[in-house]
């Protein structure tokens, strides 16, 4: 009975011609997830039992083959999009249009905007920008430093929408990880974007991604955020790279910058309440107590 159900699920997915149409990206994400977690993982579980039916091995190979066929469609799509970006033919609204064409306006996942969670938009952005294997960390973090976790892509899009960046702005992602925030902000707006990252292999990864896309307006600096030079920065983003005294030290550096020019700071995650307590910053939205909504602050 179980074998019959698995077999029929694989067949249903394989015979669904809509999944092979390139623009049906969200349906493909669901089908690939289903194959991975409801079929392949399930078969692997069954193979651990006593005397598993031999047929399961063929079914696992079938499921892996169908999954690969669907992934190949996405890989071809991402390679073409990367080539278009490299040639300078797909940035700003053109890129936004291409992403909407595949994922739709709501990210395809119907995620609630006040909780962390990833959706098809993240799968798309990861396919586009994070195509290489993620390297292992090489440096020991201090206890207040936060490990790499990526900002949900819908938050980066919201930031771009809310920030109304001007050509003369310089955007900083403080604690930039694998680099997708500065790269995406630069691609969507054209402004100069920089990432400050403590972990050298993450910085190398981000630089390689920017170089692969021929982007000269994005820079990644491998340093501790406490010692970075922010003298040209006007718009900053932090997805809680650190907490406590490190956060306070970096905010103090930004406060000093704000005495020379107005700066804006966008936050996401548990750092937002500490940022909202800074007397030199004013919150421009209602999200100063929301951990998983975009916090928007301007210097006074």
Ligand X SMILES: C[S@@+](CC[C@H](N)C(=O)[O-])C[C@H]1O[C@@H](n2cnc3c(N)ncnc32)[C@H](O)[C@@H]1O
Residue showing tokens 């990864």: 205
Site residues for ligand X, 165-194, by CB under 6 A, read 173, 175-177, 180-181
Does 160 sit near ligand X (CB under 6 A)?
A: no
Nearer to ligand X, 141 or 256 (CB): 141
- What mask of x and - would describe binding to ligand X in positions 199 to 218, judged by CB under 6 A? x--x----------------
CA distance 20 to 28: 8
CA distance 111 to 200: 32
Does 145 sit near ligand X (CB under 6 A)?
A: yes
Does 159 sit near ligand X (CB under 6 A)?
A: no
Q: How far is the CB of 174 from ligand X (least distance, A)?
A: 7
Interface with ligand X: number of residues (CB under 6 A) = 24
19-27, 90-98, 109-117, 236-244 -> range binding ligand X (CB under 6 A) = 236-244
C-alpha gyration radius of the chain: 22
Does 241 sit near ligand X (CB under 6 A)?
A: yes
10-18, 23-31, 97-105, 149-157 -> range binding ligand X (CB under 6 A) = 149-157
Tell me which residue has its CB nearest to ligand X. Answer: 175
Binding stretches for ligand X (CB under 6 A): 145-146, 148-151, 173, 175-177, 180-181, 196-199, 202, 224-225, 239-242, 246
């Amino acid at each position: 009975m179980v074998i019959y159900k698995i077999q029929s699920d694989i067949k249903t997915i394989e015979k669904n011609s809509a999944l092979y149409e390139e623009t049906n990206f969200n349906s493909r994400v669901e089908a690939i997830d289903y194959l991975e977690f409801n079929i392949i993982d399930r078969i692997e579980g069954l193979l651990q039992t006593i005397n598993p039916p031999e047929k399961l091995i063929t079914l696992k190979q079938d499921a892996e083959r169908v999954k690969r066929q669907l992934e190949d469609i996405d890989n071809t799509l991402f390679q073409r999009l990367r080539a278009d970006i490299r040639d300078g033919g797909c940035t700003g609204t053109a890129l936004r249009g291409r992403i909407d064409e595949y994922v739709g306006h709501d990210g395809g996942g119907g995620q609630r905007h006040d909780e962390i969670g990833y959706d098809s938009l993240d799968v798309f952005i990861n396919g586009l920008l994070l195509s290489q294997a993620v390297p292992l960390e090489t440096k020991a973090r201090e206890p207040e430093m936060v490990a790499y976790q990526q900002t949900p892509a819908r938050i980066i899009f919201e930031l771009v929408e809310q920030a109304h960046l001007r050509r003369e702005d310089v955007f900083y992602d403080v604690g930039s990880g694998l680099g997708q925030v500065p790269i995406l902000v630069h691609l969507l707006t054209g402004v100069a974007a920089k990432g400050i990252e403590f972990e050298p292999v993450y910085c190398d990864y981000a630089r390689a991604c920017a170089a692969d896309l021929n982007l000269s307006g994005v820079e990644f600096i491998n340093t501790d955020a406490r010692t970075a030079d922010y003298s040209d920065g006007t718009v900053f983003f932090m997805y809680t790279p650190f907490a406590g005294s490190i956060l306070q030290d970096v905010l103090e550096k930004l406060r000093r910058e704000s005495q020379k020019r107005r700066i804006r700071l966008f936050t996401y995650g548990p750092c937002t309440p500490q940022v909202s307590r800074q007397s030199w910053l004013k919150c421009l939205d209602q999200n100063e107590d929301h951990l998983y909504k975009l916090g928007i602050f301007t210097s006074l």
